[in-house]
Structure 1
Amino acid sequence: MRPSGKAYLVSLTATLLALSGCSTLPHSGPDNRAIESQASVYLAAQKQEQAPYALVDLTPNVLAFFPLESRKSLSSGFGPSRKGPPALPLGVGDVVSITLFESAAGGLFIPADAGSRPGNFITLPNQTVDTRGLINVPYAGSIRAAGRLPEEIRADIEQRLADRAIEPQVVINLVQSRSSQISVLGDVNSAAKIEINPSGERVLDAISAAGGLSAPGREVYVTLQRGSTTATVPFEELLSNPRENIFLYPGDVVYVNRERRTYLAFGASGLSGRVDFDESNLTLAEALGKVGGLLDSRADAAQIFLYRLVDTATLARMGVQVEGNAGKAGGQYPVIFRLNLRKPDGLFLAQKFAMHDKDILYVSNSDSTEVTKFLAVVNSVTSGVAGPATDAALIRSAERTLR
């Protein structure tokens, strides 16, 4: 007697389960049963063992706790440096050359019997501004140099020598600047300390002097540190917005950092794998677009999940209390955000929710997709054995059973 459709389905399912363990079927490698049975030690997961996490539906109220990053700027944070190059006073460690002129021979520095000469001047040996900020000039004494412009020092020396030399004139040349330097570090081809040109050095000039970038520009961030003030901008922002390419000041530190920001995409999306941000501010809507959106034949638009570690302080402000060790101050707690694109405002929420580095995006399959998978397996086994009529009856029976 021919079994009923439901009984046939049960029998067929049992047969499929039996065949799945048959060693005669082809395998690409050891299956889970072989691995478990031959393990010398097996620590099985207990029923109660499960990583804790919080599930948060993405709503307008939740967006307030995860705003898009504000646009970072150098031009708005360092004041005068965006107007022009800095004045460069002398500082400790600078090496200077001093030349003294007199209008006639027979003065303080040029003896009367000096004879024919192209000019009445002498050049003193090079001097280094000492740790007290001083240099020494014969008959003028110790001169404060640190923090003063060469023109100020020149006038001071001329005034001190006015009653001893014949109409003295002074020329000061900077031989080596050690106080007016900037440092360029990080992902450049040749990290270095660079002397600031009197005409001014901008941020891109300093990076160029250090050999340029050693990483792709779209993944690079540039940090400028001046005293206690620090600001960071994407490298591409320096290129696209000339206002951000500001002048540098002595003592500035330029740090170039490659930061490859990526997220992982899995499930019923058009593309699975690791995806680069490319942009400095990437939203959830843009992240879905970069992976090809949702697969119409598989995805459940109401079940889009984003996995992220969130600091407990933010969760506390949201009213989510985390207990135990995971809730310690400064810690991070696993959170799954759920986006429902079946709601009319779903795309607006996705457009305002910022992606973070190392986020995991998962698009769930719809329930009908799982039914279709099962029926495809059943149909592949029964086709050619029971015939089309039996297949049709079996499919109807499977649908009633899975309901």
Structure 2
Amino acid sequence: MNLPARAVAACLPIVIAGCSTLGASGPSPDAIVEAGQAGGEERQIVVVPLDENSARRTAAVVEAQRFSDVFGNPQPGDTTIGVGDVLDIAIWEAPPATLFGVTAPGTPIGNSSGQNVGIPQQVVGEDGAIAVPFVGTVAVRGQTPSAVAAAIERRLRGKAHAPQAVVRIVQNESRAVTVIGEVGATRRLPLTARGETLLDAIAAAGGTRQPVGKITMQMTRGGRTASMPLDTIVRDPAQNVTLQPGDVLTAIFQPYSFIALGAVGQNAEIPFEGVGISLAQALGRIGGLRDERANIRGVFLFRMEQAGALPISIAATARQTAEGRVPTVYRLNMGEGSALFTAQDFGVRDGDVIYVSNAPAVDLQKFLNIVSSAAFSVTGIGSAVP
């Protein structure tokens, strides 16, 4: 065996070993599908075709998280008094005044005037009560101002002549909402009997500092939290819900992002606005698929999906996280004629990962490059050795 032949034989194992370690930007389509088809505990993900049905199911889940569905839209009720509120109390007594004033002897009744007295402003204590002279302790928590006035009048009868009382809330501390985030001025907004809405609160806080189309509103009530694009709330009056005491509104600027990997124009984390974007728009923002590398049948979207967005037969057996999410991979075949329409209907969510696999020919080309490089090296060695 001459030297060039021996050199080729020596390099062949290296070339073959290189075939199994070709560079790649992620898993192959077959590897992803096999992971979704594994049985038992080995099945860590669910692979779902990205078609019209998938787009409809995911859109239905988003609609179920609208403010009107999560929080309802209760009608405003009477303003009630709570702990920390400051009350202004005025009491009138008809002539002849016997408790809060004195009428001069001999003064005709028609010429006498009623007497009134202003009580120092009262702060509702932790016990939900206030103290009124000649009346004593009055429980006011949960009562309306008119109900408290009537209670004071009843307890003054027999002490004052035809007493009348007026009670006003001058500082509402118990019935307020908090507005924070990308607004003109963070503030606590007292609620009135008019029934302030979400947009009322934003306006009272000076509006948003960023364009409406790039703001997402997060609303927290009790133990529930939901988010919606502000633009959607403006366009759909049903989502401009009536606020309740203790609500927290947070205006967030472009809070969402997705990650693009693989055979695409740009591998990066891409932020997007609160109004949301479709898969077609997301692909456009990253420069689309790379013609020389991309597998048009290997466009994948990885998501921690809600079980309600999956077919019942799949959701019933899928592995779920502690939060009830299912590791899901949506597969889009861009070779189908309707693929672009489907991509337009399918919304991208915060934290999604878009991955485009390499075409099979790309790996073949890498292999041929390795073989070619090895062959030229052997030829060079053979030429150099006499």
Normalised by the length of structure 1, the TM-score is: 0.63
Q: Which residue of 119, 128, 132 maps to 1:137?
A: 132
Cα distance in 1 for partners of 2:303, 2:247 equals 36
- Residue 153 of structure 2 is aligned to residue 171 of structure 1: no
Cα distance in 1 for partners of 2:326, 2:143 equals 55
- Residue 327 of structure 2 is aligned to residue 340 of structure 1: no
Q: Partner letter of residue 204 of structure 1? A: L
- Give the SS at the match of 2:243: coil
Contact 2:73 2:241 in 1 (8 A): no
- Give the SS at the match of 1:243: helix
Q: Partner letter of residue 253 of structure 1? A: V
Per-residue CA deviations over 1:28-80 (Å, capped at 9, x if unaligned) read xxxxxxxxxxxxxxxxx9x9xx9997475736699499834422322234345
Per-residue CA deviations over 1:241-272 (Å, capped at 9, x if unaligned) read 12221222222222333343233446766777
Q: Partner letter of residue 247 of structure 1? A: T
Q: CA deviation at 1:111?
A: 1.6
Q: Partner letter of residue 99 of structure 1? A: A
Contact 1:261 1:276 in 2 (8 A): yes
Contact 2:256 2:274 in 1 (8 A): no
Match of 1:262 in 2: 257
Q: CA deviation at 1:159?
A: 1.7
Q: Partner letter of residue 67 of structure 2? A: L
Match of 2:157 in 1: 162
Cα distance in 1 for partners of 2:241, 2:306 equals 35
Cα distance in 1 for partners of 2:97, 2:214 equals 68
Q: Partner letter of residue 143 of structure 1? A: V
Q: Which residue of 47, 50, 58 maps to 2:49?
A: 58
Match of 2:66 in 1: 73
Cα distance in 2 for partners of 1:274, 1:345 equals 27
Q: 1:273 to 1:255 in 2, by over 3 A?
A: closer
Q: CA deviation at 1:219?
A: 3.6
Q: CA deviation at 1:344?
A: 5.2
Q: Partner letter of residue 361 of structure 1? A: I
| Stretch deviating more after TM superposition (192-201 or 166-175) | 192-201
Contact 2:215 2:275 in 1 (8 A): no
Per-residue CA deviations over 1:144-189 (Å, capped at 9, x if unaligned) read 2111111111111112222221111111122222112212233334
Q: CA deviation at 1:229?
A: 3.9
Contact 1:219 1:261 in 2 (8 A): no
Q: Relative contact order (alpha carbons < 8 A, sep ≥ 6): 1 or 2 greater? A: 2
Cα distance in 1 for partners of 2:73, 2:363 equals 64
Q: 1:242 to 1:62 in 2, by over 3 A?
A: closer
Per-residue CA deviations over 1:90-131 (Å, capped at 9, x if unaligned) read 111111121111121441111224999975211111111222
Q: 1:166 to 1:190 in 2, by over 3 A?
A: same
Cα distance in 1 for partners of 2:203, 2:190 equals 13
Q: 1:330 to 1:239 in 2, by over 3 A?
A: same
Q: CA deviation at 1:359?
A: 3.6
Q: Partner letter of residue 78 of structure 1? A: F
Provide the alpha-carbon RMSD of the alignment. Answer: 4.8
Match of 1:90 in 2: 81
Match of 1:150 in 2: 145
Q: Which residue of 355, 359, 362 maps to 2:348?
A: 355
Cα distance in 2 for partners of 1:94, 1:86 equals 18
Cα distance in 2 for partners of 1:76, 1:335 equals 26
Normalised by the length of structure 2, the TM-score is: 0.65
Cα distance in 2 for partners of 1:155, 1:249 equals 26
Q: Partner letter of residue 140 of structure 1? A: V
Match of 1:380 in 2: none
Contact 1:188 1:214 in 2 (8 A): yes
Match of 2:40 in 1: none
Match of 2:208 in 1: 213
Contact 2:79 2:192 in 1 (8 A): no
The structure with the greater share of residues assigned to strand is 2
Cα distance in 2 for partners of 1:204, 1:128 equals 30
- Give the SS at the match of 1:125: strand
- Give the SS at the match of 2:283: helix
Match of 1:193 in 2: 188
Q: Which residue of 104, 112, 120 maps to 2:103?
A: 112
Cα distance in 2 for partners of 1:304, 1:278 equals 23
Per-residue CA deviations over 1:315-340 (Å, capped at 9, x if unaligned) read xx859x99xxxx99659999865432
Unaligned runs of 5+ in 2: 1-20, 37-46, 367-386
Unaligned runs of 5+ in 1: 1-44, 374-403
Number of aligned residues: 330
Contact 2:306 2:326 in 1 (8 A): yes
Q: 1:252 to 1:305 in 2, by over 3 A?
A: closer
- Give the SS at the match of 2:155: helix
Contact 2:96 2:114 in 1 (8 A): no
Q: Partner letter of residue 169 of structure 1? A: Q
Q: 1:311 to 1:203 in 2, by over 3 A?
A: closer
Q: CA deviation at 1:311?
A: 9.9
Cα distance in 2 for partners of 1:255, 1:217 equals 14
Cα distance in 2 for partners of 1:365, 1:348 equals 23
Contact 2:213 2:273 in 1 (8 A): yes
Contact 2:96 2:112 in 1 (8 A): no
Q: Which residue of 175, 179, 183 maps to 2:178?
A: 183
